[in-house]
Amino acid sequence: MKRELWEGNQAIAEAAVRAGLEAYFGYPITPQTEVLEYLSRRMPELGRAFVQAESELGAINMVYGAACAGVRVMSSSSSPGVSLMMEGLSYIAGTEIPAVLVNVMRGGPGLGNIAPSQGDYNQAVHGGGHGDYPRIVLAPASVQEAVDLMMLSFDLAEKYRMITMVIADGCIGQMMEPISLPEMKPVQRKDWEWATNGRMGKRERRILTSIYLDPYQEEKTNLRLLERWKQIQANEVRYKEYFMDDAEYVVIGFGTAGRVSLSAVRAARQHGIKVGLFRPVTVSPFPLHLIEDLAKRLSGILVVEMNSGQMLEDVRLAVKGRVPVEFYGRLGGVVPFPDEVLGEIQRMASGKSPSNFSPRDAWFERMAHPHPTPLPIRGRAG
């Protein structure tokens, strides 16, 4: 298959097009604006719908409207814009219709900066919008994986009538990598039995709403969402493992943090440390049982994230205190270097950490003297 050099954001956009995207509604925000710009040309070229909305608020509600019609629709944004979309996501979830959202995460909170981060894990995985609703969250670690997960996201959203979020970060959005794009799938507008696309003389009227005024009906709705979630937990967990066969230690990281950690794991192996990498690809549903199994046979776990320890809590939940869990994180848009993670792996493997401590507190103390910020490229030798 042909391999081409593509920028992450544009590859994500083209992958969605090839998955049969019929409508895109978005708003500019760094570092994902290229998705909007690419589709502003590509969608009209193919006769499909594109609107640059008045805000992310407008965009997610346009997505909501088009999703009610049963077509493949998505938006993309970055952290502050995704916050604006939370109301819309809750409504889409309560209405039980499919939609896809890409979050190219940046440093925060607040306006933050435009550098890559993973600070929205909790928002994506554990809530965001109000109310009890589950959602599928996919975390690519490369441009190719982002392309593959975009194709998958629409299928999952439709199969389960649920929101699928793809959380990338500014690295993946902005970097260029050689990829293979899938074949163009023809647009297949399905007449779902729930879609409000006009009676057209063929059926009774339909209503799509998230209102359940009777609390007992609302409870039934919530339970129905949970039923579907149980199926998803059983069937849709995805992950990647590297060097795990004989591993004594494991590094757990998703997205770019996982990718950086892979380099560190390779280097650690060179140093003779039996460490592997476990990289969740679905952070929701989270691979709880798999990590629980790992904890049964390993001596230590190091969680690496570009945030203050959000996935860390899910790992600790799975580990149930069986083995020490350590944490290493960089914040605010700082991306860790492999040598930082290698240092952490070496510290963990030296057996110097007691089992009853707070991994975040221990890390926080070490962060009083963080690794030095890198020199500009010009001044850096080798």
Partner 1 sequence: MAANANNLVYERPAGFTDTPTHYCPGCTHGVAHRLVAEVLEDMGLLDRTIGVAPVGCSVFAYNYFDADFVEAPHGRAPAMATGLKRVLPDRIIFTYQGDGDLASIGMGEIVHAAARGENITVIFINNANYGMTGGQMAPTTLPGMKTTSSPNGRDVETQGYPIRVSEMLATLDGAGYVVRRSLHDPKNIRLAKKAIRLAFETQARGLGFALVELLSTCPTNWNLTPVESLKFVEEKMVSYFPLGDFKVSPSVAQVKV
Binding site for partner 1 (CB under 8 A): 22-23, 25, 49, 51, 53-55, 57-59, 61-69, 71, 73, 87-88, 91, 95, 196-201, 205-211
Q: What are phi and psi of 173, to 5 degrees?
A: -65, -40
CA 184 from centroid of its chain's CA atoms: 24
The nearest distance, CB 380 to partner 1, in angstroms, is 47
User: Which CB, 37 or 87, lies closer to partner 1?
Assistant: 87
Residue type, 2: K
Instruction: Compare residues 84 and 331 and give the one whose CB is closer to partner 1.
Output: 84
Strands 73-77 and 49-52: unpaired
Residue 171: phi and psi, rounded to 5, are -60, -55
Among candidates 379, 153, 116, which has minimal Cα distance to 284? Answer: 153
Smallest gap from residue 312 Cβ to partner 1 (A):
33
User: CA torsion sign, 79 to 84 to 87 to 89?
Assistant: negative
**CA–CA distances in Å: residue 339 to residues 203, 293, 343:** 63, 28, 6
Q: What separation, in Å, do the N-terminal and C-terminal C-alpha atoms of the chain show? A: 35
Residue for token pair 């040309």: 41
Give the residue with the Cβ less far from partner 1, 130 or 271: 130
In angstroms, what is the minimal distance from the CB of 289 to partner 1? 36
Q: Which residue, 63 or 335, has its beta carbon nearer to partner 1?
A: 63
CB of 25 to partner 1, least distance (A): 6
Comparison of 197 and 235: residue with beta carbon closer to partner 1: 197
Measured CA to CA, the distance from residue 156 to residue 154 in angstroms comes to 5
Question: C-beta of 59: minimal distance to partner 1 in Å?
Answer: 8
What is the closest distance, in whole angstroms, from the C-beta atom of residue 32 to partner 1 in the complex? 20
CB nearer to partner 1: pick between 97 and 302:
97
